[in-house]
Amino acid sequence: MNLTAEQIQQNWIDLEETIKSYISEPRRSQLLEFYSKYSERIMMMPAAHKKEYHNSFPGGYVDHVLRVIECALKINDIWVEMGVDSTTYTKEELVFSALNHDLGKMGDEENESYITQTDNWRREKLGEEYMFNTKVPFASVPDRGLFLLQSHGIQYSFNEMITIQTHDGLYDEGNKKYLLNFMPEQKPRTSLPFIVHQADLMAARIEFEREWLPKFKSNGGNPKKNFKLETNKYNQSSPNIKTKALGSVKSESLMNLLNNI
């Protein structure tokens, strides 16, 4: 999968317009300032380090986030139609949570989490286009995302905190304390975490299918049959993308990544 420079640019515009449309002041201005500050990094980030996951390509993160927001809004309509108590959360909380659910993947203030994979064997055999940056101290994605928001003065509600914290659902063992309770008073007081989790699950599944199902169909059931050839073809795309997508690139790892597009 590959996005053109124009698609990367348009996705970024759509992200900013989403903030303007759904987030109220003062958080609207704060989020726009935050995303502008880290625009170079976030615009080009992948959503994952490995092709077997989802959206592991330049611009994949924003593409994923926009899809999660769209899925969340549509899934919310179904929940409302089926009788959910929508007074327990707001649409702004829904969009804010979906927008920032994976924010921790950007790394810290100084370093990005995903850098270009330098091991050709891992790239070609394991599909790891990226590797984790050891300069970034370990933290879970939700924890780092929430820390980034609060360290930049962006407040979030209790609903938003729990929703971002548990967006991976029971795929994350750490979420059992919130989601696997049997006493009524210990269950979430809102369905917002379940709506955003379903949206994230739907978006990631769609991205997986878009990447891998055509390979299953065209390669006789072996999706990695021509993996090396596809990777080389991907790396030989137009070198003008880096100048069209970004006016200037300061990050060394992003420059290396763009030079391979």
Here the tokens at position 35 are 């995303």
- Do residues 156 and 164 touch, judged by C-beta distance below 8 A? yes
Q: Once rounded to an integer, what is the mean pLDDT over residues 23-43? A: 97
pLDDT above 90 as % of the chain: 70
pLDDT above 70 as % of the chain: 84
Tell me phi and psi for residue 237, to 5 degrees: -65, 175
Confidence check: pLDDT of 228 > 60:
no
- Cα angle vertex 46, ends 252, 240, to 5°? 60
Band of residue 149 on the pLDDT scale cut at 50, 70, 90: very high
The whole-angstrom separation of Cα 156 and Cα 140 is 18
pLDDT at position 238 is 39
- Do residues 8 and 58 touch, judged by C-beta distance below 8 A? yes
pLDDT at position 69 is 98
pLDDT in tens, 41-85: 999 999 988 877 888 899 999 999 999 999 999 999 999 999 999
Band of residue 126 on the pLDDT scale cut at 50, 70, 90: confident
pLDDT in tens, 5-20: 999 999 999 999 999 9
